[in-house]
Amino acid sequence: MSFSAAVKQELAALPLEKTCCMTAELNALTACSASLALLGGGRTQVQYETLSASVLKRIFLLLRQRYQLQGQPRVSRVDRFGGMRQYRLRLSPENSRALMHALNPDRAPDRMPSLPRRVMRRICCRRAWIRGAFLACGSVQHPQKGIRAEFVLTDGARAAFLHRLLEQEGVSALRTMRRGSEVVYVRRGDALSNLLGMMGASRAMLELENIRAAGSLHQAVTRATNCDHANMQKQLSAAQRQVQAITRISLAKGLTALPKELEAIARLRLSHPDVSLEGLGALCAPSLGKSGVQHRMRRILEIAEALEAPEITE
């Protein structure tokens, strides 16, 4: 089962609560996954279509518990989706008319319900409408493959309505067009976590947070490893330059020509070419700090550079 299907299954299993929320969720499911057929003689027929059996069961329960309506379920296979099952729930003309009138009493029964303004005023109803829209036309990518959730709608007004609801709930969302459809999508980890939690997908939200935490830890370890590697390379490069400078001085005039404190640190460097400055300081008698060793090495490098400089004759 895909991550998106698991999220829908979790949402579809949530208990049905207040009647206002059931109405809001059913309104979104009807607006985003139902079609309205005109049968003639003033009769209409509502049909819901989905690729999820859990979503179809959710619609069936909402219709029965909220409005005491029932429909006729059907199952078929869709070749364009690799033979996946498509689930349909068809209402009778009488039940279709009753549903359209219940969802929007001020609208003609032969037209889809409008977007309810009361949803904008209640937090519970906003979340229920968003949940219904996700069950109808939403999907979410597995967090290990990337952060993205999207709603694909056929109507610009519904896309704008959904976008406003998400913004009111603190979920940062974007809109775009894709092959003639309106797409409202979320692509940030915090926004996706808020979306899942707000809809009621607690298990999916915890899985997302675990994956994000593991990814953050991996990135931190990688950064620390790269930093240590870079520091080691820098340290080895500096030590190599110091060894080369000491070797030039030794070949030119011998290390005994150096001051005693520089001779001692030079011989320690030749004996321990891979040791850090702190390590060299600890080997000195008496011991030196990093700044003291660094100062002496700087003097040795200056002496070696002076040996390379050409003599000026008058």
Please report, for the domain that includes residue 13, its CATH number: 3.10.28.10
- Choice between 305 and 111, residue whose per-residue pLDDT is larger: 305
pLDDT band at 312, cuts 50/70/90? very low
172 falls within a domain: yes
Q: Which residues of 93-130 are buried (b: 16+ CB within 10 A; e: fewer)?
A: bebbbbbbebbbeeeebeebbebbeebeeeeebbbbbb
Instruction: Give the percent of the chain with pLDDT over 70.
Output: 89
Most confident stretch, 17-26, 127-136, 250-259, 264-273: 127-136
236 falls within a domain: no
Residues 296 and 158 in one domain: no
H helix intervals, the chain: 3-12, 19-33, 53-67, 93-103, 118-121, 123-137, 156-168, 189-199, 202-252, 260-271, 277-283, 290-308
pLDDT band at 310, cuts 50/70/90? very low
Query: What pLDDT is recorded for position 311?
Result: 46
pLDDT band at 217, cuts 50/70/90? low
pLDDT band at 286, cuts 50/70/90? confident
- Which of these three, 200, 228, 251, is where a domain ends? 200
- Which of these three, 200, 218, 233, is where a domain ends? 200
Quick one: tokens of 283? 């080997």
Q: Residues with Cβ < 8 Å from 50, sequence gap 6 or more?
A: 33, 56, 59, 86, 87, 135, 136
Longest dimension (CA), the chain: 118
Residues 185 and 298 in one domain: no
Total domains in the fold of the chain: 2
- Choice between 29 and 213, residue whose per-residue pLDDT is larger: 29
- Choice between 307 and 45, residue whose per-residue pLDDT is larger: 45
User: 256, exposed or middle or buried, with CB in 10 Å at 0-12, 13-18, 19+?
Assistant: exposed
Query: What pLDDT is recorded for position 221?
Result: 65
- Choice between 43 and 129, residue whose per-residue pLDDT is larger: 129
31 falls within a domain: yes
Residues 17 and 82 in one domain: yes
The mean pLDDT of the chain is 85
pLDDT value at 36 more than 90: no
Quick one: tokens of 108? 């003609």
229 falls within a domain: no
- Which of these three, 200, 226, 252, is where a domain ends? 200
Query: What pLDDT is recorded for position 95?
Result: 92
160 falls within a domain: yes
pLDDT in tens, 51-110: 999 999 999 999 999 999 988 889 887 766 566 888 999 999 999 989 988 887 666 555
Tell me which long-range contacts 17-21 makes (C-beta under 8 A, separation of at least 24).
17/124, 18/124, 19/66, 20/118, 20/122, 20/124, 20/125, 20/128, 21/124, 21/125, 21/127, 21/128
Is pTM beyond 0.75? Reply is no
221 falls within a domain: no
138-148: average pLDDT: 91
50 falls within a domain: yes
Note down the domain range covering 144.
3-200
